[in-house]
Amino acid sequence: MLHAVDGQKYDFSFFLGTVFPDAKTHLDLQQIIGAELQFNDFGSYFIPEVQLLQSLETDYIDYPGGDSAPPHAYDGSTFLTRLAIGGVHDFNIGTPWWIPFFKTGLGYETLNDYRYFKNEDSLFFEAGGGLKYYTSHRFALKVQALYLKKLNTARFDDNVGLFFGFSYELGGRTHKEKRIERNRLRAHRREVADTEISKELANPEQHASFNRPPSARQAAAMISLYDRDRDGVPDSLDRCPDTPKGLNVERNGCARIPKFVFAFAPKSADIRSKAILRLNALIAKLAKNKKRIRIIGYADDMESTLANTVLAQRRAKAITGYFIAKGIDASRIETVARGQTVPPPARNRARIGRRRVVVDVLE
């Protein structure tokens, strides 16, 4: 059967596991041996699968207040067989080694001669998922969990199963080989698209499509062609077109300057006690490098412009003095007083947001 069609690819799985039965069944834990066969070349969203679950010997269990089964129901001679047909969907997470999957299907469960506590042969629905890890192109370790909903005449039974095993692929190309090929094809298509766009930009009069609005892929490629430092800001808007790779940048394309804000009480230039810990942490970081520091003082509009400028200067000097007292070289520090002339960010324009000192760490 496994080689019935030349070139057809199958995925055969063998596993062991445990089914935790619904208490209403009065059945003990079921040790399961199982097998699955997938037909992977159908090209559909769900891969067709046939599944067989066979329990080893199990027993009935008496529950307080429940009816007891005949004595021979407890001799370990109860068996369950489940046969299901369903579908499996594999998820592409960018690596051919790990493949998570989801599955669902319908099946039929049969018991041997001992059908007590209203247990019957009947249909069941299953759904679950798991993960496969490929140790080679064809062999994978497999773990999965299944929820089984069985329909009896008088009730529904809820069973849960956990299974561990392996899968082996037969015939045709493997999942991993196909995924690698798809990734190579996508890379090739991107390369071709970038080349075509480059030709259009170089010779627009030779390409009738140049005047059409670009697609999303073409627009992304065009941006990359005009973004010399690859920071995501086109050179037409980039005030710093040669930013080193890896730096976080502002909207204008220049390196983002780390800012540290310290609030002050009204009409006061005294450093608050709750700011000391943050200042000490910042100083500890600055002591490990030679980066320049800009300390900018601000004030609210409760006094005159001149008074507010003086207050902003006193606040900036208070922070500067603290830095120097803790060992930061004064030559690294630039002190600026802006008074009430520059408001804080839009989300904090109240007076309490203006009484502050901003510390910029420069390159």
Per-residue pLDDT reduced to its tens digit, 244-283: 776 677 777 777 667 788 888 888 889 888 888 889 988 8
Contacts of 71 (CB under 8 A, 6+ apart): none
Inform me whether the pLDDT recorded for 296 exceeds 50.
Answer: yes
Q: From the options 3.40.50.2300, 3.10.105.10, 3.60.150.10, 3.30.1330.60, give the CATH code of 259-361.
A: 3.30.1330.60
Contacts of 90 (CB under 8 A, 6+ apart): 47, 99, 100, 101, 175
- Residue positions counted in the chain: 363
Q: Where are the domains of the chain?
A: 10-172, 178-225, 259-361
Instruction: State the average pLDDT for the chain.
Output: 79
For residues 233 and 205, give the distance between their C-alpha atoms in angstroms, rounded to a whole number: 27
For residues 145 and 64, give the distance between their C-alpha atoms in angstroms, rounded to a whole number: 30
From the number of C-beta atoms within 10 Å of its C-beta (0-12, 13-18, 19+), residue 283 rates as middle
The two tokens of residue 183 are 């990734």
Q: Flag the least confident range among 168-177, 194-203, 236-245, 311-320.
A: 194-203
Inform me whether the pLDDT recorded for 162 exceeds 50.
Answer: yes
Tokens 């800001």 -> residue: 233
The band of 37, judged by pLDDT with boundaries at 50, 70 and 90, is very high
CB 293 within 8 A of CB 328: yes
Query: Which pLDDT does position 100 carry in this prediction?
Result: 93
User: How many beta carbons lie within 10 A of that of residue 182, not counting itself?
Assistant: 12
For residues 66 and 73, give the distance between their C-alpha atoms in angstroms, rounded to a whole number: 15
Query: Which pLDDT does position 4 carry in this prediction?
Result: 31
Query: Which pLDDT does position 275 carry in this prediction?
Result: 87
Query: Which pLDDT does position 83 carry in this prediction?
Result: 95
Query: Which pLDDT does position 219 carry in this prediction?
Result: 64
Query: Which pLDDT does position 1 carry in this prediction?
Result: 29
Inform me whether the pLDDT recorded for 230 exceeds 50.
Answer: yes
The band of 86, judged by pLDDT with boundaries at 50, 70 and 90, is very high
Same fold for the pair 10-172 and 259-361: no
Q: What is the CATH number of domain 10-172?
A: 2.40.160.20
For residues 217 and 195, give the distance between their C-alpha atoms in angstroms, rounded to a whole number: 12
**Helices (H) and strands (E) in the chain — how many of each?**
5, 12
